[in-house]
Amino acid sequence: MSKYAAFTVPGLTEESGHHVADVLQLRLHALNDLHLVLKHAHWNVVGPNFIAVHEMLDPQVDLVRGFVDAIAERMATMGVTPNGLSGDLVKNRTWEDYKVDRADATTHIRALNEVYNTVIEDHRVAISKVGDIDPITEDLLIGQTAELEQFQWFLRAHLEDGSGQLN
């Protein structure tokens, strides 16, 4: 059974539509992983700022889950089977596992900031790969990137000192 259907969205060739969906596959894996990382941090943050960080993460978890669904549905619309299985994610990811377990808020926030750096940078690369081919997918990724950048700003506000340096 092929992961490719014999169609894509109107206005694109099957080849270009399937190419765009293939670019989205790694974004699907990255966002599924981000969802799990955020829940892991949510469950394992401790210390004086526990409740602030614990409650700050939940809305982001929900938003990222919605991003996953939007990407998977875009892939399916383009005639490509989205793969959300953990084995495929681990086999094809280009990033390392989140290394923080039970830790204080600042430790988790620093680590999450680095995770966001990677996810956002990779989203921007995907935007450049699909932009000339499919403006609908480009728009989807741009919107997601804007939301991811805003949440990273929330994280960085916890790390920033008065002179604008991240500590």
pLDDT in tens, the chain (167 residues): 789 999 999 999 999 999 999 999 999 999 999 999 999 999 999 999 999 999 999 999 999 999 999 999 999 999 999 999 999 999 999 999 999 999 999 999 999 999 999 999 999 999 999 999 999 999 999 999 999 999 999 999 999 988 889 88
Give the angle subtended at the CA of 123 by the CAs of 111 and 115, to the nearest 5°. 5
Instruction: State pTM to two decimals.
Output: 0.95
pLDDT at 167: 84
One-character DSSP codes across 36-75 = HHHHHHHHHEESTTHHHHHHHHHHHHHHHHHHHHHHHHHH
Cβ-contact 15, 90 below 8 angstroms: no
Nearest residue to 94 (alpha-carbon basis) of 25, 161, 143? 25
Distance CA 64, CA 118 (A): 15
Using CB atoms within 10 A of its CB, is residue 68 exposed (0-12), middle (13-18) or buried (19+)?
Answer: buried
Q: How many CA atoms lie within 13 A of 138 on its CB side?
A: 9
Looking at residue 1, what is its pLDDT? 74
> Domain 14-159 falls in which CATH fold?
Ferritin (1.20.1260)
Report the pLDDT value the prediction gives residue 162, as an integer from 0 to 100: 85
